[in-house]
Amino acid sequence: RKEVEQDPGPFNVPEGATVAFNCTYSNSASQSFFWYRQDCRKEPKLLMSVYSSGNEDGRFTAQLNRASQYISLLIRDSKLSDSATYLCVVSGGYNKLIFGAGTRLAVHP
Amino acid sequence: GAGVSQSPSNKVTEKGKDVELRCDPISGHTALYWYRQSLGQGLEFLIYFQGNSAPDKSGLPSDRFSAERTGGSVSTLTIQRTQQEDSAVYLCASSFLGFGNGYTFGSGTRLTVV
């Protein structure tokens, strides 16, 4: 079983739609959680951290369910510029981060 | 520097040759990480440095891979006797102390072994 599992997609949505991505992780000892965004042929960039109480950053909302070892990302009012791959990331041992394989989002006009 | 700098950005090498990839982290960042990403795949952890020491090198795929960091700054990843399966994008990231605020990645070195 992979340490971080995500639906690869692609999710094809129209502009203005709300879309949600989920991921599950296997290590119950993980303490830190993030969503990264990766554009085609570019490096991953931090989108947002994920906190236990849930957190919001503009159109983006992240939720964490430690009991179920489940993380979600909600994007409201999708823009064309949101088209990218979204990587679910959890902490592993020794200060390293474990990356999921990503969920691809394509927003169309 | 302003960001994590990696060189070269692209490298094409013949099977069996050695290659060296360089990473220059953000100034003051004590933690440095190497990952690789094969086409269409997720990021695979290779090695983590805290200062000049590597407490976790569990991701290095074989003894052909080695890495060092000097002066708590620049790191080089060396691949000896390259194989075609080594073809990937090699990404370096740095952070201050640990991953608490996530990492900042460089733009990577795209390695192609022919």
pLDDT band at B1 (very low <50, low <70, confident <90, very high): low
Candidates B43, B48, B104; nearest CB to A95: B48
Candidates A87, A96, A102; nearest CB to B48: A96
User: How high is the mean pLDDT of chain B?
Assistant: 93
pLDDT (0 to 100) of residue A96: 85
- A contacts of B48 (beta carbons < 8 Å): 94-96
A51 touching B, CB under 8 A? no
Candidates A43, A93, A95; nearest CB to B105: A43
Min Cα separation A89/chain B (Å): 9
pLDDT at B109 over 60: yes
Residue A44 tokens read as 């991953």
pLDDT at B98 over 70: no
Q: Are strands B10-13 and B109-113 parallel, antiparallel or unpaired?
A: parallel
pLDDT band at A63 (very low <50, low <70, confident <90, very high): very high
pLDDT (0 to 100) of residue A92: 84
A86 touching B, CB under 8 A? no
pLDDT (0 to 100) of residue A2: 84
List, for residues A10-51, the tens digit of each pLDDT value.
999 999 999 999 999 999 989 899 999 999 999 999 999 999
pLDDT band at B47 (very low <50, low <70, confident <90, very high): very high
> Cβ separation of A97 and B99 shorter than 8 Å?
yes
If you average pLDDT over residues B102-108, what whole number do you get? 91
User: How high is the mean pLDDT of chain A?
Assistant: 94
A16: left (phi over 0), alpha (psi -120 to 50) or beta: left
Judged by average pLDDT, the poorest of A88-102, B24-38, B42-56, B76-90 is A88-102
pLDDT (0 to 100) of residue A94: 66
Share of chain B above pLDDT 70, in %: 96
State the first-to-last Cα distance of chain A, in angstroms, to the nearest integer: 37
Q: Other C-beta atoms within 10 Å of B11: how many?
A: 17
pLDDT (0 to 100) of residue B3: 93
Q: Which of A14, A7, A6 is nearest to A78 (CA)?
A: A14
